[in-house]
Amino acid sequence: MRFSDKVAVVTGGAHGIGRSTVQRFLDEGARVAILDFDSAAAADLAAAAPGRAIAVLCNVLDPGSVDAAVASVAERFGGIDVLASVAGGELPTDDPMDEAYWDGIVGLNLRGPVRMIRACTPHLTASRGSIVLVSSVNALVAFSSLAYSSAKAGLGILAKNLAVELGPSGVRVNVVAPGTVRTRVWDDQEGGADRLAPLCPIGRVGEPEDIAAAIAFLASADASWITGVTLPVDGGQTAGPLTIINHLQRSEP
């Protein structure tokens, strides 16, 4: 019950990693605001924890939507102790260098979290709270997806700068960098997420609950002397090239 009497805001909280993060905070005693563009799915999740979870429509691409959502949460719950910025993802494109595509990717994966941080900081300063941003192993090694990788990499240096800037106010800022995780983005892909299991030394792809556990740790008092770090949670995918080499050798006829 590390989050008893705490209020957590989770963006992208209706699905996947965000949904598991919401559940983890609830299980550990928090009141949780589920911010998502999919208001119906967010409402369904909130209904399972009446009085302790609320669904708030939020589009992180829209500064006005972000400000209104955060104000609504603070009014309803009386403050904010944790921001878990999970919302993000790839976008379809035929041209990975297209200007509009880059604007969309950066807007969703970097500027969106910045908007959330800006809106939540006064409340987090008052509560001496914590920020956890969700990046990707794509920010750490070259796994393709140039725009996505670049935007996610920006979260790491953002966290370092904010850790220095907000530290004197008691606010910690950290990043979780998931590897391959079994979420709905894999549903229509041949072999699903499990086709990448051989690239994980630990022998399996991640589950949303694996990432939620790391987010909860970094947000909690157990990590009270940790700030400005990026924690890979990837089953060893970024540990080194040996796993990939071994996989390719085993795949040879």
Q: Is 6 a catalytic residue?
A: no
**Which residue type sits at 169?**
S
**Which residue type sits at 185?**
V
Q: Is 152 a catalytic residue?
A: yes
95: phi then psi, degrees, rounded to nearest 5 = -135, 100
- Residue positions counted in the chain: 253
- Please give the C-alpha separations between residue 185 and each of 33, 86, 94, 192, 201, in angstroms, as whole numbers: 24, 15, 18, 9, 22
Q: For residues 210-232, b (16+ Cβ closer than 10 Å) or e, as one string?
A: bbbbbbbbbbbeebeeebbbbbb
Pairing verdict, β 130-134 and 172-178: parallel
Instruction: Kindly tell me the burial class for residue 72, based on how many C-beta atoms sit within 10 Å of its own C-beta (0-12, 13-18, 19 or more).
Output: middle
| Active-site hit among 6, 101, 148, 160 | 148
Rounded-to-integer distance, Cα 183 and Cα 54, Å: 23
| Active-site hit among 6, 101, 152, 160 | 152
What residues act catalytically?
148, 152
